Amino acid sequence: MTHGCLKCLKYTMCVANFLCFVCGVAVLGLGVFMMVNFKLTALMPSLANFNLASMLLVSGLVITCVSFLGFLGALKENRCLLLTFFLMLFFLLLVELTAACLLLMYEHKIADWVQRDLNQGLQDAKSEHPGESRSEWDLVQMTFDCCGVHNVSDWGDDVPASCCKADCEPPRTPQYRSTGCLDVMKIWFEENFLITGIAVIVFCIIEVLGMCFAMTLFCHISRIGLGYKL
Q: What are the pLDDT digits (tens) for 47-85?
A: 554 566 777 788 889 999 999 999 998 888 888 899 999
Element (H, E) at 26: helix 2-37
Q: Taking 50 as the threshold, does the pLDDT of residue 227 lie above it?
A: no
Domain boundaries, the chain: 2-108+185-224
Q: Taking 50 as the threshold, does the pLDDT of residue 183 lie above it?
A: yes
The per-residue pLDDT of the chain, averaged, comes to: 79
User: Percentage of residues in the chain with pLDDT exceeding 90?
Assistant: 14
At 86, the amino acid letter reads F
Q: Taking 80 as the threshold, does the pLDDT of residue 225 lie above it?
A: no
Question: Residues 177-193: what's their mean pLDDT?
Answer: 82
- CB atoms under 10 Å from CB of 68, counted, come to 17
More confident: 84 or 187: 84
Contact 125, 45 (CB under 8 A): no
Nearest Cα residue to 115 out of 145, 144, 154? 154
Q: What is the pLDDT of residue 2?
A: 59
At 73, the amino acid letter reads G
What is the C-alpha to C-alpha distance for residues 17 and 128, in angstroms, rounded to an integer? 51
Question: Residues 123-139: what's their mean pLDDT?
Answer: 66
More confident: 72 or 171: 72
What is the C-alpha to C-alpha distance for residues 176 and 226, in angstroms, rounded to an integer? 70
> With bands split at pLDDT 50, 70 and 90, how would you rate the model's confidence at 230?
very low
More confident: 142 or 41: 142
Q: Could you tell me how many residues make up the chain?
A: 230
Q: What is the pLDDT of residue 84?
A: 92
CA distance between the termini of the chain: 28
What is the C-alpha to C-alpha distance for residues 218 and 226, in angstroms, rounded to an integer? 9
This prediction's pTM: 0.74
Lowest mean pLDDT across 44-48, 217-221, 222-226: 44-48
